[in-house]
Chains A and B, each alone.
Chain A
Amino acid sequence: MTTMSPVADDSARLAQFEARVAADESIEPKDWMPERYRSQLIRMMSQHAHSEVVGMLPEGNWITRAPSLRRKMILLAKVQDEGGHGLYIYCGTETLGVDRQELVQQLLDGKAKYSSIFNYPTLSWADMGAIGWLVDGAAIVNQTMLAKASYGPYARAMVRICKEENFHKRQGYEIMATLARGTPAQKAMAQESLNRWWWPSLMMFGPHDKDSSNSDELMKWGIKRKSNDELRQRFVNLTIAQVKAIDLTVPDPALRYDEATGNWITGPIDWDEFWRVVKGNGPCNRERIEARRRAHEDGAWVRAAAIAHAEKQQRNNRETTERQQ
């Protein structure tokens, strides 16, 4: 029997927990963790999983129109991967004692967030290039950091995802490069797409550090390892050279290179647009949730059939066993 009061017990455990995180130890499902750590993880991981699944829709929109068989296979495999990644992360979230069904329901009820980038429409084939290159490029910067997250199941899912996503960004950049050196119409298509996706991609890293409400806590607990602005800067620095290499232009007249820091400094991001989309008024928020809801409802009879069949089989097996006894 312990003589410590629950409060003293918890604060001792908290100190021990924070020491483990500080020492870069991995936190596993059965380890004690502060409730707030658990709830922040569930929030962040389920948002991440929802983003993967909703993220299938804008690109899925072009699978049936991909202009060559090779591109069709690549795109289908890529969108399939997003589904797989959603699945890995949902499973990781389930280790925290929540059910996937519950998380999916929160998404369908409009109670859960997902990455706002997927509330923008895909309007041309070039968008398949821009998304792979910029959106997956931004996601990789973020996920490379998350592969070192303190929660073991999240970090392990991220390691697998980062390995698989290597081809996503490359195939996107390859599409853009091919269009940029193609016919004048193709090059115009690529530039127009870059113009639309550039700013939303920068917004993917979230608000500036000074305006990011969850960041401090997530960093303290080792769920995030780098700040929004640090990650965004890293992405911009990587991407500008890639834009130049294929002779396209970033839609930012204020963009400049800072000799002192070696950073590319962008003009101001339109945070009004960011919050508008986050709050549900982006161009496709309603369509995206509606599409998920329809798939879920149309599939209800299928999921129910599998359960009913398994129950029948179990009943039959039990009866056979009883007869044999």
Chain B
Amino acid sequence: MNTPLFEALLRLGDDRLVLGHRTSEWCGHAPILEEDIALANIALDHIGQANLLLGYAGTVEGAGRDQDALAYFRDAVEYRNALLCELPKGDFGVTIVRHFLHGVFSVLQWEALSQSTDPTIAGIAAKALKESKYHVRHCGEWVIRLGDGTDESHARAQAAVDQLWPYTGELFMQPADEASLVSAGVSADVSALEGAWRAQVSDVLRRATLTAPEGVWMQRGGREGRHTEHLGHMLAEMQIVARSHPGAQW
């Protein structure tokens, strides 16, 4: 049985690993050279955060697994990321809107976790907070340009919001097993972040002339290992080399 702290760290780390991996798929294929470099920076920040969080998860677990063992030798059902993170990268609109939606959540989460009573978590959160603030700035500005750009870009940005919105609810569903961590000040209650998230997201969507869907069913399952079919394919690609040579050093 995994301890609540280990599970909580997987949720934090897997979100960033999966989202970072998806973003890294853009490298060499972005709409313009400047943005190729920007997206690679965002991907690097996420994978860097995952590296720290999964490394700490391995330490907490105490079973001799390091971040690579956790990243490369777990199956999809053992991953704890939100479904939002694993959806295919889609077009540039989907990529940007997703980073914006998840980024605003991340900023709020890191702000809370930078006060964690666990100094390792607080340290990682303080570093990640600066990175996520920039992601929100960059992607938020893009959301406004795409939403309030051409007819085509508006339609694509709105389609991205519509596609991704049903996956945002899961970000704020507080896992039951984290209750003791929240009361000990180790973890942050994500359900408390939703109001601030909504206010910030609505403000940017309004400036982008985009609208958030209302009353849609919110998908969930990632935090318990019940994923979309996309994650398995992503992991198959990500893990192929490492799993073909178990025990090897790279």
Contacts and interface: CB of A to CB of B under 8 A. Distances in A.
A77 B28 contact: no
Given A60-B27, A302-B32, A69 B68 contact: yes
Interface in A81-120: 83-84, 86-87, 90
Please give me the 8 A-B residue pairs with the lowest Cβ-Cβ distance, nearest first: A299-B31, A305-B149, A305-B153, A80-B40, A56-B28, A60-B28, A302-B31, A67-B241
A295 interface: yes
A73 interface: yes
A64 B238 contact: yes
Contact of B242 (A67, A79, A178, A309): A67
B149 A295 contact: no
B197 interface: no
For the residues of A in contact with B, the DSSP-based class is: helix
A66 B241 CA distance: 7
Interface of A: 53, 56-57, 60, 63-73, 76-77, 79-80, 83-84, 86-87, 90, 125, 175, 178, 182-183, 185-186, 291, 294-295, 298-306, 308-309, 312
B65 interface: no
B33 A90 contact: yes
Given A70-B51, A298-B91, 19 more contacts: A53-B28, A60-B27, A65-B237, A65-B238, A65-B240, A67-B72, A69-B71, A71-B250, A80-B27, A80-B37, A83-B37, A87-B37, A294-B29, A304-B149, A304-B150, A305-B146, A306-B145, A308-B153, A309-B145
Given A186-B248, A302-B153, A303-B32, A309 B241 contact: no
Contacts, number: 142
Interface string B30-72: 1111111100110110011011001000000000000110011
B133 interface: no
B32 A178 contact: no
A182 B248 contact: yes
Interface residues of B, number: 49
10 contacts: A60-B27, A64-B238, A67-B250, A71-B250, A73-B47, A79-B40, A291-B28, A291-B29, A298-B29, A309-B144
A76 B48 contact: no
Contacts of A67: 72, 241-242, 245, 248, 250
